[in-house]
Amino acid sequence: MYINNSIIWITGASSGIGAALAVELSKRGARLILSARRLEELEKVAKVCESDSVRILTLDLAQSETFSEKAEEARSFFGRIDILINNGGISQRALAAEASLESLRRIMEVNFFGTTALTQAVLPLMKAQKSGYIVVISSVMGKFGTKYRSGYAASKHALHGWFDCLRQEMYEHNIDVTLVCPGYVKTDITVNSLTADGQKFGKMGDAQSKAMSPEQFANRLIPKLEKRNEEIYIGGKEVMAVYLKRWFPQLLNKILKNTKVT
């Protein structure tokens, strides 16, 4: 298996999808570098990973000025970085007309600028080793939009544009790019999402509470990563909206207009 013995750097690894990926990848023999802001939570994840080859590197995606140094530190753990999984990010629960510019800038700084800047810091290392794999945990919101998520959807749409371009530029360097678009996953992303004034929403969304677990998501995702698919959609019926947006956009708008969104 490609995952076995690969060196994988995961951001947002302290909880949710990132933590579940860390545990499942460790079962498959990966050597891991786990990053997030919260050291104690990263240490908890490392303890349940089924591997002794786990390293912790604290990282704040809003502090892109540190990324060159962080990338070199990550490389120093095992001598290379085979796969970067850009998973860290924040969501939003606010009306577009009411969201403060400060909250929008925060979302873009973390979700878009943080992700692209960290990727830029890692690319020279992958180019030097003549191989690599960049994975971006985006969202179905990168393909369409709903109420209350304008800034979040904008950041995910931006990621798709940037990484689609990067993919074309990286073929000659043997570096692949995958955009992963989850639907609803039962994590704290809604709890931690930003309201109009930039405060935490503080509640679990109805759809999230009924969704698949991060562990289920990770187990569905990993086989697809091994195939290096360029785009991956995983979720429930909400994934159908991606195809409706492409082929029947007016129908999707009618459906969303009458759908309760939390």
Please say whether the beta carbons of 56 and 46 come within 8 A.
Answer: yes
CA distance 155 to 44: 30
* Residue 80 exposed, middle or buried by CB count within 10 Å (0-12, 13-18, 19+): middle
Count of helices and strands (H, E) across the chain: 10, 7
DSSP 208-249: HHTSB-HHHHHHHHHHHHHTT-SEEEESSGGGHHHHHHHH-H
Are 95 and 188 in contact by the 8 Å Cβ rule? The answer is no
196 and 95 in contact (C-beta within 8 Å)? yes
H or E segment at 93?
A: none
Rounded to 5 degrees, φ, ψ at 62 are: -85, 0
Q: Are 196 and 223 in contact (CB under 8 A)?
A: no
Catalytic residues, which ones? 152
